[in-house]
Amino acid sequence: MTVTATTKRPRRVSNLLKRIGNSDRAMRFVGHLAVAYLHLVRATSRIVYEPGNVVESFGENLPGILTMWHGQHLMAPFVPQKTGLDIRVMVSRHRDGEINAIVAERFGFGTIRASAARDPTRVIEKGGLRGFLEMKSALQEGVTVAMTADVSNVIARRAGLGIIMLAQSSGRPILPVALATSRRFRLSNWDRTTFNLPFSRGACIFGNPIWVPPEGGDEEREGARLALEAELNRVNALAYERIGARDD
């Protein structure tokens, strides 16, 4: 009986802490804390943007589909500050997505709640179809959308087909972007998430637009997917080169 009682108590405490951590209040607190931290990083860092005027440089390529590698998404709030674009970003419907939604909205993004499905048969369950249609509708309204290129928890830096299908269906280009800071640390998770630190040199580099042929089949879509991977890797390397660092 003693063993049972002692094992139940830590379990109850653990469950209580989990409920508190998953509460709306806790999510809002962490979200606002993240906003404050990112403001600190931005205020104390010197970030170079290439090109300097994205709207002018991209012209007819707007609206488009902004994308970056998943591991760099924590720097995403810095993108619209220089573009002046109306941007809506895809945010996961998972509980953790609440934090990202708070951060995105505080930095001027609109949000579209959906998740990319690793299993195509679960696309409706995960809200992927609704998210796809919302992003396509936004593009038709002249609004730029943003999403990561690689599918969450699958293979880092391997572009998924979802973004390619969106570009093909909407007739709008994919706009690759990479962000890097000189002071940072990385997690040992699937995408090696980068935490950018204050007092850094930074670079935000936009790549060449990737267009997907509207009537293209599997071969053309795969070609566009590989082209997107190559362009994201190119601008990523360039961003680190600009700050005198390596993407190690």
Domain with 236 in it: what CATH number?
Answer: 3.40.1130
Distance of CA 51 to the CA centre of its chain: 20
pTM attached to this predicted model = 0.84
Q: How many C-beta neighbours within 10 Å does residue 26 have? A: 14
Cα–Cα distance for residue pair 70/65, rounded to 1 Å: 15
Q: Please identify every stretch of the chain with a pLDDT value under 50, giving residue numbers as ranges.
A: 1-3, 13-14, 16-17, 20, 119-125
Q: Nearest-CA neighbor of 205 among 50, 57, 79, 61?
A: 50
For residue 147, the surrounding DSSP H or E stretch is strand 144-148
Domain, as residue range, for 18:
2-242
With beta carbons less than 8 A apart as the criterion, state whether 77 and 204 touch. no
Q: What is the pLDDT of residue 73?
A: 85
Is residue 247 domain-resident?
no
Is residue 46 domain-resident?
yes
Per residue in 4-27, pLDDT (tens digit) is: 555 555 555 445 445 545 677 888
Is residue 248 domain-resident?
no
Look at the block and give the residue holding tokens 């690759």: 176
The count of domains in the chain is 1
Q: What is the pLDDT of residue 190?
A: 80
Q: What is the pLDDT of residue 149?
A: 93
68 φ/ψ angles, rounded to the nearest 5 degrees: -150, 170
